[in-house]
Structure 1
Amino acid sequence: MCILKAVETAAQRQAKTVGKPNHFMYDCVASQFGLGSARSLMVGDRLDADILLGSNCGLKTLLTLTGVSTVADAEAHQESGCPERLGMVPDYCVESIAELLPALQG
C-alpha cells in the first residue's frame, strides 16, 4: 500500500485496481470472447477474491474447498446479513473441481 501511495503521489493520479475482486478483469474477457453472465460460472477457492468477483459481475459462483476458504466461512458471511459479506456467499460448493467434471461431460 505504501508503494501504491507513492506512485499515486508521483503521478498525481489515483490508481485503478484491476485485480480480483474488481470486475475489470471479467469485463475484458467477456467482451473479447462474447461471454454473458447468464452462461458463465466463476469457480474459485477464495471467498474474498474469486467468489466476490463472480458476485460483483452477476455470475453464478462455485467454491472449491481446496484453498483457504471453508464452508463455515461462507455460512458466517450468509448469517451476518451484511450486504458486503453476502457477496462472498457462493451459489454452489464442492470439495474439489474434480466433482464438477462429470457434470460438464453429461
Structure 2
Amino acid sequence: MRVGEQSTDPIDQILGEVPVPASLTPEDVRLAVRAVVVHAAEEWPAGPKCRNDGAAYPCRLHRWGRRVLEAHGLNERQIDALVRHGNPFVHVPFPFVLSGPSAGRPAWAAP
C-alpha cells in the first residue's frame, strides 16, 4: 500500500484517519516527526509492516505524521530523509522555511 492510498485494515476503516490540527503548533510538529520515524516500514515476507505496531504500512500514525509535516511545509523527499535519519527527536524549525529556521530565532536556539 502506498502512503496516499486508502487503508483496507478494519481498524483503520472503523476509526478513520487521525485529524490534522487546524493550526499547527511546535508540539504537533515534534509529535509528527516521532510518528513518521517510530512508525516507519519494516520488511516482512507478507510485505511492509509498521515496525512499532505491526499494522500494514503505513499505519494511521505514520500517515498522520506525514500529513502534519506536509501541512508544515515539508515535501515528501524531506519527510523520507527524516525517516532515514532515524532520530525521532530531530528538530524541525517552527515555523519551517526552506532557507532554514525563522529569522526571529537563531539556528542554535532550542525550541
Report the TM range for the smaller structure's normalisation.
under 0.3
Q: Tell me the TM-score normalised to structure 2 length.
A: 0.26
* Greater strand fraction, Structure 1 or Structure 2: 1
Judging by fraction of residues, say which structure has more helix.
1
Structure-1-length-normalised TM-score: 0.27
The structure with the larger Rg is 1
Larger RCO (alpha carbons 8 Å, 6+ apart) = 2
